[in-house]
Amino acid sequence: MAKWREAVRLEDFKTTYKFVHRRKEICIYKLEDGIYATDNSCSHEYSPLHEGMIMGGDVYCPKHGSRFDIRSGAVKDYPATRPVKTYETKVEDGVVYVKV
């Protein structure tokens, strides 16, 4: 059963943050309309998405350029063909929580 996990203080990151819970890497994104989270690994071939370029609501894989919708995890550009998993987030008292 998924539980809310404290990940990071909102003031401690600018655009992305890599959160690790029990060897599971999750990328947390700070967008204009809220805080979102996905798996940190590109679904095409391991590459850390927290190192990728953010444009609008998309993250670009730094290795091969696959593009994912940050809010839904959907693939928007090849070579990836599978979406990345998304996670619920919430902010309370300046702290970001992820449901893992």
Count the domains in the chain. 1
- Close Cβ partners of 92 (under 8 Å, ≥ 6 residues apart): none
Dump pLDDT digits (tens) for 30-83.
999 999 999 999 998 889 999 999 999 999 999 888 999 999 999 999 999 999
Burial of 79 (0-12, 13-18, 19+ CB in 10 A): middle
- Close Cβ partners of 80 (under 8 Å, ≥ 6 residues apart): 42, 43, 44, 61, 64, 66, 67, 68
Q: How far apart are CA 44 and CA 56, in angstroms?
A: 21
CATH number of domain containing 56: 2.102.10.10
> What's the pTM value of the predicted model, to 2 decimals?
0.94
Q: How far apart are CA 82 and CA 89, in angstroms?
A: 22
What range does the domain containing 54 cover? 4-99
